[in-house]
Structure 1
Amino acid sequence: MGIPAPNIQNTKADGSQPPQGSVFNSQVVDMNNQGQVVGFYNYGVSDNTRNPKGFIGDSHGIKDLNTVLPLEKNYSLPFMVRINDQGQIAGVYIDSEKFSQLDSSASFETIASVYHAFITDPSDQSKLVLLDAKSLSLSTPTYISHIFGLNNQGQIIGILNNGSAFIGNIQSEITLLTSSSRPDSFITPSAISDSGQVVGSFQFADNQAFFGYSQHGFVSGEGGKIYDLNDFIIGGSNYVIGSAIGIDNSGQILTGGRSSAGSSFSTLFRMYK
């Protein structure tokens, strides 16, 4: 069964009606086990006024997120949005009016005020809980710029504006994902299980690689430490796991990579104690 196109004329949370316009490039980005989907679409009255918006829906149709959540009047949702089996939604939205006024002289506080990381309240899905990274107490202030995953315990994974990967929760308790063997690597989380185990990929400098860097898949352990999945292959291999895309609650990990001959592959990876 197909999902109907976004009904942009749905009444907004404040009772007003959005302007007439057109929908461009709608895309579903997540689905829960209850059949609910979330995603985004570009909306505007002309090609020059396209604005990315979020939606939630099921087989009966979809609604703009602003009809069910108290987002800013001029919100924009250019990044990922996630939903879990309890119907909680997490993502990052932007105040598009403030964003349009930013320039090179804007202060950190001004830029940070444009980005709003959020998760819905588990006891009332119509209420938002705004998230921040203040618990890290970093010397340089930072904020949550992207959310890539949400599990059924309400834990989120994502990226801070400084590029650091993290795992967090509704109390804004943030733990950075780090690699002890490659501390300078760039980490991108992809998925999180209900037990809080994170998978993804990390890039690191490699003088022998074609572009000067390599990418490997990882799985997380205690305290946000990540481990190269290739280190768990017994006896070595002619294949390199370049990414970990998903993880289920039994610990199976969906991975992808390449062989020494250059052919690509996908496989289910499971570690045994």
Structure 2
Amino acid sequence: LAARASVRPPGLGSHGEWERTPRTAPLPQETPGLRRIIRQRRSAVALDGKTGISARTFYGILENVMPRAGRVPFDTLPWSPRLHLAIFVHRVEGLEPGLYWLQRDEARKDALRAACRPEFLWARPADCPPDLPLSLLFPSDLKQTASQVSCNQDIAADGAFSLGMIADFDRSVEEGAWFYPRLFWEAGAIGQVLYLEAEVLGLRGTGIGCYFDDAVHSILALRDTTLQSLYHFTLGQPVEDERLTTLEPYE
């Protein structure tokens, strides 16, 4: 029954939003650097709790998870963005620690703000690039909170930042149960970009599949299912586990 419900019904292939999605441009010729980064990509098992990144680097990472026309992989998803990022900033030089929000669909800004805690600041960082819709919700040391909402895992507190992917949920499931898996497709695309961004910087990331969604909803003061926590991620300086053996990928 669940499998049948998750199949897109016939006749919905010409969804209006899908028709407006630009065709993906051909990828440029693959470079050895890109091949190396993709092949070396691993999930962190622990982070050092010390290493940070600059605000400029942080903004660059966020810019690359924004859905822009012609940008792979997001232009392969034939719907308007449904996931936004609630970011716990821990160690970003030049940026106040606290909870931040990256709005990945500007058209939904007012509706989603109305769903969140009314006391939030929604303040734009002073040096944030003008085309990056990032807001400070409230400043605080949230390392312990980030760990607690991710099943008390230190890795959520020990990086430069961690985040929750927050779904524009009610709007999405109005399409039908078949749209629910597509939220995770979008989460996967965001996660893979974050993985590769970390590798380019000599850092490492990992998805966090264990988290307390009700605790995240409490932080945001969500009163209904307009927004729902969907997945978590963290990024920082890895601590290698020497007990593990790393083999060449795709052999």
**What TM-score do the two structures reach when normalised by structure 2?**
0.25
Whichever structure has more strand as a proportion of its residues is 1
Greater fraction of residues in helix:
2
TM-score for both structures, normalised by structure 1: 0.24
